Amino acid sequence: MSHPDVLVVGGGIGGLGVAFSLTRQGQTVRLLESAPAFGEVGAGIQLAPNCTRILDDYGLLDEAKSLGVVPDAMVMRDAVDGSELTRLDLRHLEERYGCPYLVIHRSDLHGLLLRACERAGVELINDATVTSYENTDGGARVTLASGETYEAGLVIAADGLHSAARKLLVDDRPVSSAYVAYRGTVPAEQPRVRSVDLSEVVVYVGPRCHFVHYGLRGGEMLNQVAVFESPKALAGQDDWGTPDELDAAFAGTCDFVRDGLPFMWRDKWWRMFDRDPVMTWVHGRIALLGDSAHPPLQYIAQGAIMAIEDGWVLGEHVARNRAEDGTVDWTAALAAYEAVRPEHCRRVLTTSRKWGELWHLDGLAREQRNALLRARDTYDYSFTDWLYGPTALTPDQEPEMFTPIPLDSADVGEPVPARGTA
């Protein structure tokens, strides 16, 4: 393969997803990964029906289900008193949207996509760090740190939060949320795991913090995530998100949450950044995909899903713009991709920020949020239909957004003082 049809930069979930998608459409694909070996760092990941629907189309859903857990419910609890606020019946949700809600280890999802690419004939190259992108007369070219160059008819930059290609389109920087995430997994034989229902995805929402847990690998382990706002980050210090801040952030939470903290990995933490939405993703024959285009905060669990959706949508538009001789009208395919994906992802990015704010309220606002959540009907899908339905291929297919409910519409009686105040 001297010059492939497509060059994908980045071997994460988004890069592998689009490489597989385009190979299915008859394109020759070369993928460049900077690391010496393919792999994914982290623990659990949630895949909503808008993602499992695509995995099903790819013929990969059964394998994904065999590696993960299909939970029965998603439950939201108050992190301070442990009380249940609201829940989603995920089995009923599957009936509504036609595909399951699945939780899986991030490395298992990555491995599944890697094997699919290998079977499909994607050329996979490691130790290939791309430092620059440029358009050519017939496509685009990338230059590696080694000085080596690669060319193709189309270059897809799936190179993450710190994308080198994004600079061609916008001069911006990642935005710090001042929140940090700790992760950890607990083997099933531990007493803590035996005390929880592994068929539930549970989030405890608290003042300036939250805690998530759910089962992984068929119930072999419990995945935990602890997220909190860092006072050191707010103060502008460089050393922020440290383990002492983790313990302090959850000091006022219920026993169950605090008892989970010793199981978190304390030598690694993830500072939470996103970027402001941008509506231009295409520069000639160079296209952004995944976190290079739309890195979100994690609150509605759509980061990897959006990347997988990007690849599927681009593949569908390649199919629509491919001539009988196999040649693709890349200008038309990229225009169709850019006409629909940036607006959807803008909605996800902005909603993720707002959802995070809602999770972390204190005082009266917390009481109002809790009252509204408790009043919600389990089978009310007005806040998920815009997200979990079929992925739009054209702007007219993008569903209407939900209507927010004002916090001050809740009746909570007498105001409750904020934690730590008189």
Q: Mean pLDDT, to the nearest integer, of 34-43?
A: 85
Cβ 263 vs Cβ 224: under 8 Å: yes
Whether 328 contacts 322, CB under 8 Å: yes
Q: Which residues are catalytic?
A: 214
Question: pLDDT by residue (tens digit) across 222-248?
Answer: 999 999 999 999 999 999 999 999 999
Beta strands in 106-166 (DSSP E): 123-125, 130-135, 140-144, 149-152, 154-157
pLDDT > 70? residue 297: yes
**pLDDT, mean over the chain:** 95
CATH number of this structure's domain 6-42+108-173+276-356, picked from the four choices 1.20.80.10, 3.50.50.60, 3.40.1030.10, 3.40.50.720: 3.50.50.60
Closest CA to 398 of 411, 382, 387, 406: 387
- pLDDT, tens only, 197-219: 999 999 999 999 999 999 999 88
Give the tens place of pLDDT for each residue, 324-338.
Answer: 998 999 999 999 999
pTM (two decimals): 0.95
DSSP states of 36-57: SS----SSEEEE-HHHHHHHHH
- Tokens standing for 413? 């009686």
Q: 376: buried, middle or exposed (CB in 10 Å: 19+, 13-18, 0-12)? A: middle
Does position 257 have pLDDT exceeding 80, yes or no?
Answer: yes
Q: CB neighbours of 421 closer than 8 A, spacing ≥ 6?
A: 363
User: What per-residue confidence (pLDDT) applies to 419?
Assistant: 47
Query: Strand, helix or coil at 94?
Result: helix
Residues 50-66 have a mean pLDDT of 98
Pair of tokens at residue 171: 């001069």
pLDDT digits (tens, 9 = 90+) for 62-85: 999 999 999 999 999 999 999 999
User: Hey, what's the torsion of the CAs at 208, 76, 356, 385, to 10 degrees?
Assistant: -170
Distance CA 236, CA 142 (A): 36
User: What per-residue confidence (pLDDT) applies to 219?
Assistant: 86
Model confidence at 348: pLDDT above 60: yes
> Which residues lie closer than 8 Å to 3 by C-beta, 6 or more apart?
139, 151, 152, 153
pLDDT at residue 42, rounded to an integer: 73
Strands 84-89 and 175-187: unpaired
pLDDT of res. 414: 57
The pLDDT of residue 1? 54
Work out the percent of the chain whose per-residue pLDDT is above 90.
93
What is the mean pLDDT of the segment spanning 399-420?
78
pLDDT of res. 420: 42
Q: In the structure, what pLDDT confidence band is assigned to residue 40 with cuts at 50, 70 and 90?
A: confident
